[in-house]
Amino acid sequence: MLYCEKCKVEIRTNHKYCPLCQSPLIGEIGEESELFPKLKEKTHASKLIMRIFHFLCVAVIIISLMLNWWITPTKRWSVWIGAGVLCVWIFFTVGVYKRKNLMKNTIWQLVLITVGTIIWDAAIGWNGWSINYIIPIAGLVTMAILVIITIVYHLASPEYMIYLLMSCLHGIIPFILLLTGCITVKFPALLYICCCALLLSALIIFQGRAVYSELQKKFHL
């Protein structure tokens, strides 16, 4: 190892002169030692699972298309299988990539369920099951999950406030649909709207300052 007599320090690199005082170095030039240890790249199991899942989705679509073409070429049932696989792929992919933030992941799943069920309902002839049952029930389940996560993980108000407010905001959808007469089965929607109103009231009454602070940060009020 090289050594500087003037600075009284050892030099790990292969410099000819001291980087501090520019004096000639003495000693033997050896192999350049690593200043920082090399870290082995970790192969996360989630990446492998995602690749396997992507392959299975593609395999299901290809096999269904082949069977459709071979057995019943006049029908297009493979299109529905492909659409179903696409929905599962979207839900699973979002769930994996948003897994670090459970609150955000839950809200994302609610948005996907809302949009996805409306599209499916419209695609198969519109029976109204999406807005009568799925959206209100999904909203109630989402609200319960957010509250449970908040309690179990002892989250501070900045960590949960915006997500609870977004859950309450989602309740506007069945409220508007109820006013316009689009919803024919009223009980699930009324229950969801009532829970949203109660949760929003509780947040404003007990966490009013936190609500205002969060809105101020998000919307620059």
pLDDT tens digits in sequence order for the chain, 221 residues long: 677 888 878 777 777 788 878 888 887 765 554 555 555 555 567 788 889 999 999 999 999 999 999 999 999 999 999 999 999 999 999 998 888 899 999 999 999 999 999 999 999 999 999 999 999 999 999 999 999 999 999 999 989 999 999 999 999 999 999 999 999 999 999 999 999 999 999 999 999 998 988 888 877 65
Cα–Cα distance between 109 and 96 in angstroms, integer?
Answer: 11
**Does residue 192 lie within any of the structural domains?**
yes
Residue at 16 is within a domain:
yes
Same domain, yes or no: 115 and 128: yes
Helices (H), 153-221: 157-170, 172-179, 186-206, 208-219
Tally of residues, the chain:
221
Does 40 reside within a domain? no
Residue 144 inside a domain? The answer is yes
Strand pairing partners for 4? 9
Cα atoms in the Cβ-side hemisphere of radius 13 Å centred on 84: 9
Looking at the structure, tell me whether residues 83 and 185 fall in a common domain. Answer: no
Residue range(s) defining the domain that contains residue 6: 1-34
Mark whether 80 and 124 lie in a shared domain.
Answer: no
Any domain includes 182: yes
Distance CA 61, CA 57 (A): 6
51 with 131, same domain: the answer is no
On whether both 112 and 218 belong to a single domain, the answer is yes
| Token pair 């320090």: residue | 9
Sign, CA dihedral 139-141-147-150, equals negative
Distance, CA of 181 to CA of 9 (rounded, Å): 83
